């Protein structure tokens, strides 16, 4: 697990966007794993800027989102489809037929979850998965207690998550109680994982994820098992880490060719 501590949210977002852009440039037919929430908004803004100003081309890319509320239509302002469309998809040239967000209105939710995992495989797997983290250590909607090798499934939301998300709804009672989420096992199959965290409210979860044991009680700690996982935080979210970490990605020094 590589940990990178940036000065602030802007620098964290810029680095994450750069990592995604590198994947898109290297393989225009790449599959992106995307997240909702306030954390990746800066990253998406930077990707939009790169698309508009630098010609970053998503015309052959595909994407899979992590999760969606059950019972919420894509047209609902708090649906994750709506969030993705308005904060990213409509501003870049990714074909909408290539983007996937779990369908919260699926008639057979379990069949839809199984289909979602199969569909990721059919598209060749996720090249780079972006994640936020909950204050309780969740990734996507995998709440504390979720099995490390879980597959995409429907879940009941944790009390803390409902409280955290109440700010987006008129009343706390409007927050959906169930969601469809990519499983932790599904996430661990991505070729590369980048988890972003800013603000002091994430400091405890980040310390437990990076320096604690792998435990179902801290779902993000399962990322310690991933061979290519980078955690990027701002200084506040790194506030409870005991060890010191670098602020730039690890890179092998260039080997000079012998003449």
Report, in Å, the least distance between residue 36 CB and ligand PGA: 8
Contact between 42 and ligand PGA (CB under 6 A)?
no
3-state helix, strand, coil in the chain (%, to 5): 35, 15, 45
Residue (6 or 138) nearer to ligand PGA, CB? 138
One character per residue 56-95, x = contact with ligand PGA (rule: CB under 6 A): ----------------------------------------
Task: Point out which span in 17-25, 35-43, 72-80, 186-194 binds ligand PGA (CB under 6 A).
Answer: 35-43
Q: Is 67 marked active-site? A: yes
> Between the CA of residue 83 and those of 41, 67, 80, 144, what are the distances in Å?
10, 12, 5, 25
Residue 51 annotated as catalytic: no
The count of residues interacting with ligand PGA (CB under 6 A) is 7
Nearer to ligand PGA, 98 or 186 (CB): 186
- Closer CB to ligand PGA, residue 24 or residue 66? 66
Nearer to ligand PGA, 98 or 234 (CB): 234
| Bridge partner residues of 215 (DSSP) | 218
Q: Is 138 a known active-site residue?
A: yes
Binders in 102-141 for ligand PGA, by CB under 6 A: 132-134, 138
Q: Does 33 sit near ligand PGA (CB under 6 A)?
A: no
Site for ligand PGA in 138-157 (CB under 6 A): 138
- Contact pick of 6, 14, 39, 189 for ligand PGA (by CB under 6 A): 39
**Closest to 46 measured CA to CA, from 107, 116, 130, 162:** 130
Residue 257: how many other CB atoms lie within 10 Å:
5
Render 190-222 in DSSP notation, one character per residue.
SS-EEEEE-SGGGHHHHHHHHHS--BTTBGGGG
For the CB of residue 124, give the shortest distance to ligand PGA in the complex, in Å: 26
Q: Which of residues 192-251 bind ligand PGA (CB under 6 A)?
A: none
Q: At a CB cut-off of 8 Å and minimum separation 6, what does 74 contact?
A: 81, 82, 101, 103, 104, 105
Q: What region, left, alpha or beta, does residue 218 occupy, with left being phi > 0 and alpha being psi -120 to 50 degrees?
A: beta
DSSP string, 82-114: HHHHHHTGGGS---GGGEE---TT-SSHHHHHH
Strands 99-100 and 62-65: parallel
Residues paired with 32 in a beta bridge: 63, 128
Please name which of 131, 129, 133, 128 lies closest in space to residue 237, comparing C-alpha atoms. Answer: 133
**Residue of minimal CB distance from ligand PGA?**
37
Q: Is 26 a catalytic residue?
A: no
Q: Determine if 38 is a binding residue for ligand PGA (CB under 6 A).
A: yes
Check binding of 37 to ligand PGA (CB under 6 A): yes
State the catalytic residue, choosing from 98, 136, 165, 198.
136
User: Using CB under 6 A as the criterion, which residues of the chain lie in contact with ligand PGA when the complex forms?
Assistant: 37-39, 132-134, 138
What positions carry a catalytic annotation? 67, 136, 138, 143
């Amino acid at each position: 697990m590589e940990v990178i501590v940036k000065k602030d949210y802007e620098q964290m977002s810029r680095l994450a966007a750069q990592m995604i852009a590198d994947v898109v440039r290297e393989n225009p037919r790449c599959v992106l794993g995307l997240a909702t929430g306030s954390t990746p908004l800066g990253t998406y803004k930077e990707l939009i800027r790169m698309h508009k100003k630098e010609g970053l081309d998503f015309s052959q890319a595909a994407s899979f989102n992590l999760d969606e509320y059950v019972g919420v239509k894509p047209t609902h302002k708090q649906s994750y489809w709506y969030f993705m469309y308005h904060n990213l998809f409509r501003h870049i040239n990714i074909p909408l037929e290539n983007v996937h967000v779990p369908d919260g209105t699926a008639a057979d939710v379990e069949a839809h979850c199984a289909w979602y995992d199969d569909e990721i495989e059919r598209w060749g797997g996720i090249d780079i998965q972006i994640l936020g983290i909950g204050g309780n250590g969740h990734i996507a909607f995998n709440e504390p207690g979720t099995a490390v090798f879980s597959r995409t499934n429907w879940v009941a939301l944790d009390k803390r998550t409902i409280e955290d998300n109440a700010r987006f709804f008129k009343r706390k009672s409007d927050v959906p109680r169930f969601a469809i989420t990519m499983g932790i096992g599904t996430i661990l199959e991505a070729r590369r994982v980048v988890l972003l965290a800013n603000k002091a409210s994430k400091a405890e979860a980040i310390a437990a994820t990076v320096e604690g044991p792998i435990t179902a009680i801290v779902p993000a700690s399962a990322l310690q098992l991933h061979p290519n996982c980078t955690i990027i935080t701002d200084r506040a979210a790194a506030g409870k880490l005991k060890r010191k970490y670098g602020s730039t990605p690890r890179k092998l020094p260039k080997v000079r060719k012998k003449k």
